[in-house]
Structure 1
Amino acid sequence: MNISFKPIEKIDLPSVTAIYNYYVENSTATFHLAPVSEQEMETTLLLGHRLYKSFVILSEGAIVGFCYLGQFRKKEAYDISSEVTLYIKHDFTGKKIGGSVLAFMEQEAKKLGLKNLVGVITSENKGSLKLFERNGYFKCGHLKNIGIKFGKALDVISYQKEI
């Protein structure tokens, strides 16, 4: 599947928010318990930030997902690192998009002078764990029973790649 990327603009927020809220309501991929608003999504994506960038993922002109580089920690010494996040529309998962998305995000991160990318993944999200491992990320942390969603205690696993 051919995909392309475009920086997220305000006009994209309804589509991006709908993709994210699908995972809020139907999965443990995110720890939000209730759908988020477009305004909250805009704040999360840090639109227009000089360092942390966000993109829609396009296939044949249609939005099939989004990805972003987010602030790893709020202290300046961490500004060489970023959390990398991606969400693919649920009916487009399993189409080998994820590897291309990570490769693109790594290129963008390098252009911005970032040195490390970190993925923070719920342990139940086996597809994402495999995606990060296949793309050269190493497991660097495992928090046990750190959150509860759908009445179930969940682990979170962190993966890192030095770029």
Structure 2
Amino acid sequence: MTHFTPVTHRDLPEIKEIYDHYILHSTATFHSEKITLPKLEEIIYLNNPRYPSFLIHEADEVIGYCFLSRFKKRQAYDRTAEVSVYLKPGFTGKGIGTLAMHHIEGAAKKGGIHVLIGTLCGENYASIRLLEHMGYTKAAHLRNVGEKFGKILDVVMYQKDV
């Protein structure tokens, strides 16, 4: 059974391992070098009721994580957050992303967030399908703004009122 627990400082090395996989093997993130633990702590907030982060468990195994982060560092945007979900390879395409999105959307509502934004590489079709399945609508398409693995990449943004 899939369940969620708040991320603690001791969970960061396992999160780093999952994230490093996506850094090295995909365009799911535009980081291009393995992340350090201090840099990861700048991305994943710990013990933050407004921008929570959760480990995703299947039985006793950590299979991913999901979190909210600030959209912009200006007070006028405090009603909005960015949503992210990362699953270990082998756990995608099984409905776990949908469960994670439902969980993080509930946490967003509790924290006073009204709008969630997903920012993705334009070729991340699996994540685009997930967001569309969850009722997010395309709000922006930024052409040729990223580069990774020698490819010029688009960024798309999806949003949903929660």
Give the whole-Å Cα distance in 1 for the aligned partners of 2:113 and 2:36: 29
Residue deviations 1:107-133 (CA, integer Å, cap 9, x gap): 110111110000001111100000000
Counterpart in 2 of 1:71? 70
Give distance in 2, aligned partners of 1:41 and 1:156.
Answer: 22
Q: Percent identity?
A: 41
Are positions 1:5 and 2:32 aligned together?
A: no
Consecutive unaligned residues in structure 2, runs of 5 or more: none
Secondary structure in 2 matching 1:91:
coil
| Paired AA for residue 29 in structure 1 | A
1:50 shift after superposition? 3.7
Stretches (4+) displaced over 6 A: none
TM-score using structure 2 length: 0.98
Question: Could you tell me the TM-score, scaled by structure 1's length?
Answer: 0.97
Structure 1 equivalent of residue 13 of structure 2 = 14
User: How far is 1:102 from its partner?
Assistant: 0.6
CA distance in 2, matches of 1:81, 1:10: 25
Q: Which consecutive unaligned segments of at least 5 residues does structure 1 have? A: none
Give the CA deviation at 1:46.
Answer: 1.8
Deviation of the 1:61 alpha carbon: 1.7
Q: Offset at 1:94? A: 1.3
Across the aligned residues of Structure 1 and Structure 2, the Cα RMSD in angstroms comes to 0.8
- 1:75-105 alpha-carbon deviations (Å, 9 max, x no partner): 0110101000010001211111111111111
Count of aligned pairs between the two proteins = 162
Q: Which residue of 2 aligns with 1:116?
A: 115
Distance in 2 (CA, whole Å) between partners of 1:42 and 1:62 is: 22
- SS at structure 1 position matched to 2:90: helix
* Cα drift, residue 38 of structure 1: 1.5
